[in-house]
Amino acid sequence: MTEHTTEHTTEHTTADTTADTTARTKIPLGSDLAVGRIGYGSMRLTGEGLYGEYPDREAGKSFLRQAVDAGVDLIDTADVYGPHTTETLIREALHPYPEHLVIATKGGLVRSGPELSTIGFVGNPQYLRQSVHLSARRLGVERIDLYYLHSGWAKDASFADQVGTLAQLREEGMIKNIGLSNVSVEQLREARDITEIAAVTAHYNVVARQERPLLDAAEAAGAVFVPWQPVSLTTPGDPTDTRGSATVATALAAVADAHGATVPQVALAWLLAVSPTMLPIPATTTLGHLRENLAAQDLRLTDEEIRTIDALA
Q: Specify whether 204 is catalytic.
A: no
Q: Return phi, psi of residue 104, to 5°.
A: -110, 135
> Bridge partners of 36?
26
Task: From the candidates 40, 51, 54, 81, give the one annotated as an active-site residue.
Answer: 81
Contact 45, 242 (CB under 8 A): no
β pairing state of 144-149 and 119-121? unpaired
Q: How far apart are the first and last CA of the chain?
A: 22
Please give the torsion angle defined by the CA atoms of residues 43, 109, 98 and 71, in that order, rounded to the nearest 10 degrees. 30
Q: Return phi, psi of residue 200, to 5°.
A: -130, 130
**Measured between alpha carbons, how far is residue 278 from residues 35, 126, 219, 246, 297 in Å?**
11, 32, 9, 27, 11
Q: What stretch of H or E contains 199?
A: strand 199-203
Q: Identify the sign of the CA torsion 149, 152, 157, 163.
A: positive
Nearest to 42 by CA among 85, 7, 6, 9: 85
Catalytic residues: 81
